[in-house]
């Protein structure tokens, strides 16, 4: 059966070049980079190079990057590590549309004596900037605001938020898991103190991430033990995966233009044709301020889960809301925060592309969606057709 993968915000294919780069580190080059002997020395240099490549992708100094196990660990390290460094401050600021890696953690921390302010978004999914200054007080330890939303792709005005935060003395964290590798980021010109990266969103394997820590930022380690990562994250380095992330970062840097031109054109055509061929649809999120690879479309009078199952029968992989929350059958917290009508929230479909998608695959999706929507509407109590 033909398959088309359009769920790249959930995870990506590991690039063949990444697999190739990693393989020697499972066999011949298995040393521990901290070891004094030749086996250690052989891999130490490559770990340094991988760190340089990740640093290049966001234009920071390599010493400002630590490797973690995933985006979630980077988020936890940033938030818990900051709270640990400022024990006198008991307030956090985030947004209602964060990934659960941030939102569930912050809400959990409110049970441990912390106060939380959750900023809202407008109907286009854009951050309500006016709320930022009043949300931050002298008691605010950390402001954690995602760079780009995983469900809609909407990009937040991070530097404008940063400018408002700086005068208040709070640490500024951004979960940039969906932005890194898709749009250019430049830490040399930024107000960001901490930035989370996840390998499996940019064609590295699952199980590797990174955290950017601006020089001079106070951060209590989340995992204590050995002296790895200059004492900022203990545990023997996951050398093969670090090499993989380095290679993926190098490729993402090289393919950035393609992502912003060819992939964007594929996404735009896909979205336009679906909207043209299906009635009672809407695009969720500000179409002029989005990641180049993501579209989130709602089909009124149908269930997103049913669309996914029928698409899957045709070999097409997509997502409704976020895979991380879909297990709970709760409608998307992101679309609800945007105030999208209930009947549209339930029929939402996220299609997220990558540099591996082709024109032919886009044609295949365009061909299969309208009959699926017609079929589902025919059996729905509303009796609508596409
Ligand atoms: N932050 C954001 C913005 C994300 O989109 C994800 C994963 C994470 C953190 C977690 O990263 P991980 O490396 O720990 O997996 N997002 C999704 C998604 O949108 N669908 O499935 C996973």
What distance in Å separates the CA atoms of residue 149 and residue 152, rounded to the nearest whole number? 6
Is the CB of 71 within 6 Å of ligand 1? yes
Are 210 and 54 a contacting pair, CB within 8 Å? yes
What confidence tier does 384 reach under pLDDT thresholds 50, 70, 90? low
Closest CA to 147 of 117, 186, 110: 186
pLDDT in tens, 77-120: 999 999 999 999 999 999 999 999 999 999 999 999 999 999 99
Question: Which residues, 6 or more positions from 274, have their beta carbon under 8 angstroms from its beta carbon?
Answer: 281, 297, 366, 369, 370
- Both tokens assigned to 287: 């179409």
Does 324 participate in catalysis according to the annotation?
A: yes
| Residue 344 three-state SS | helix
Measured from the Cβ of residue 122, the count of other Cβ atoms closer than 10 Å reads 12
Position in ligand 1 atom list of the atom nearest CA 198? 13
Query: What would the pLDDT profile of 192-250 be if each residue is shown by its tens digit?
Result: 999 999 999 999 999 999 999 999 999 999 999 999 999 999 999 999 999 999 999 99
pTM of the model as a whole: 0.97
Contact 311, 4 (CB under 8 A): no
Residue 92 CA to residue 350 CA, distance in Å, equals 30
pLDDT of residue 321: 63
**Residue 324 pLDDT class (50, 70, 90 cuts):** very low
Pair 245, 67: CB distance under 8 Å: yes
- For 205-214, the pLDDT digits (tens) are 999 999 999 9
| Residue of 243, 182, 178 lying closest to 207 (CA atoms) | 243
Question: Is 260 a residue whose pLDDT tops 70?
Answer: yes
| 330 CB burial (10 A radius; 0-12, 13-18, 19+) | exposed
Domain boundaries, the chain: 4-12+256-378, 16-254
| Number of the ligand 1 atom closest to the C-alpha atom of 74 | 14
pLDDT of residue 263 exceeding 60: yes
Class of the domain covering 16-254: alpha beta
Q: If you take atom 8 of ligand 1, which residue's CA is the nearest one?
A: 71
pLDDT band of residue 258 (cuts 50, 70, 90) is confident
Q: Which token pair is 145?
A: 């605001």
- What is residue 331's DSSP assignment? P
Average pLDDT across the chain, whole number: 95
Distance CA 20, CA 46 (A): 14
Residue range 274-285: average pLDDT?
Answer: 97
Residue 340's pLDDT is what? 95
Nearest alpha carbon, ligand 1 atom 12: 71
Asked whether the domain spanning 16-254 has the same topology as the one spanning 4-12+256-378, the reply is no
**Of residues 213, 158, 207, 201, the one with CA closest to residue 177:** 201
The alpha carbon dihedral of 64, 68, 70, 73 has a sign of negative
The closest-lying atom of ligand 1 relative to the alpha carbon of residue 7 is: 20
195's tokens: 């930035």
Residue 9 CB–ligand 1 contact under 6 Å: yes
- Confidence at residue 166, expressed as pLDDT on a 0 to 100 scale: 85
Does ligand 1 lie within 6 Å of residue 317's CB atom?
no
Report how far ligand 1's centroid is from the alpha carbon of 199 (Å).
10
CATH code of domain 4-12+256-378? 3.90.1150.10
352: Cβ below 6 Å to ligand 1? no
Å from CA of 17 to ligand 1 middle: 23
| pLDDT over threshold 90, residue 137 | yes
| 147 Cα: distance to centroid of ligand 1 (angstroms) | 12
**45 pLDDT higher than 50:** yes
């Amino acid at each position: 059966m033909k398959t088309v993968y359009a769920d790249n915000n959930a995870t990506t294919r590991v690039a063949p070049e990444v697999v190739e780069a990693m393989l020697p580190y499972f066999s011949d080059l298995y040393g521990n980079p901290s070891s004094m002997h030749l086996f250690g020395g052989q891999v130490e240099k490559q770990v340094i190079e991988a760190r340089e490549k990740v640093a290049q992708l966001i234009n920071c100094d390599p010493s400002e990057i630590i490797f973690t196990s995933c985006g979630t660990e980077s988020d936890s390290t940033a938030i818990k590590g900051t709270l640990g460094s400022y024990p006198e401050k008991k307030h956090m600021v985030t947004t209602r549309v964060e990934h659960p890696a941030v939102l569930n953690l912050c809400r959990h921390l409110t049970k441990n004596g912390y106060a939380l302010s959750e900023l809202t978004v407008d109907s286009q999914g854009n951050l309500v900037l006016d709320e930022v200054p009043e949300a931050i007080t002298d008691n605010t330890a950390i402001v954690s605001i995602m760079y780009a939303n995983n469900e809609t792709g909407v990009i937040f005005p991070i530097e404008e938020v940063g400018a408002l935060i700086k005068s208040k003395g709070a640490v500024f964290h951004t979960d940039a898991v969906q932005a890194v590798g898709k749009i250019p980021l430049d830490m040399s010109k930024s107000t960001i103190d901490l930035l989370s990266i996840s390998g499996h969103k940019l064609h590295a394997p699952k199980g590797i991430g990174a955290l950017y820590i601006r020089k001079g930022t106070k951060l209590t380690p989340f995992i204590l033990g050995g002296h790895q990562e200059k004492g900022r994250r203990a545990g023997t380095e996951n050398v093969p995966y670090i090499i993989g992330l380095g290679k993926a970062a190098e490729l993402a840097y090289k393919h950035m233009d393609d992502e912003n031109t060819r992939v964007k054109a594929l996404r735009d055509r896909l979205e336009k044709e679906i909207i043209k061929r299906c009635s009672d649809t809407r695009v969720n999120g500000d179409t002029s301020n989005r990641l180049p690879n993501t579209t989130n479309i709602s089909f009124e009078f149908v269930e997103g889960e049913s669309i996914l199952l029928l698409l899957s029968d045709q070999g097409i992989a997509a997502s409704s809301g976020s895979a991380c929350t879909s297990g709970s059958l709760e409608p998307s917290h992101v679309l609800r925060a945007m105030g999208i009508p209930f009947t549209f929230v339930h029929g939402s479909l996220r299609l997220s592309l990558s540099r591996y998608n082709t024109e032919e695959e886009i044609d295949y999706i365009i061909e299969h969606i309208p009959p699926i929507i017609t079929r589902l509407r025919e059996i729905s109590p509303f009796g609508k057709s596409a």
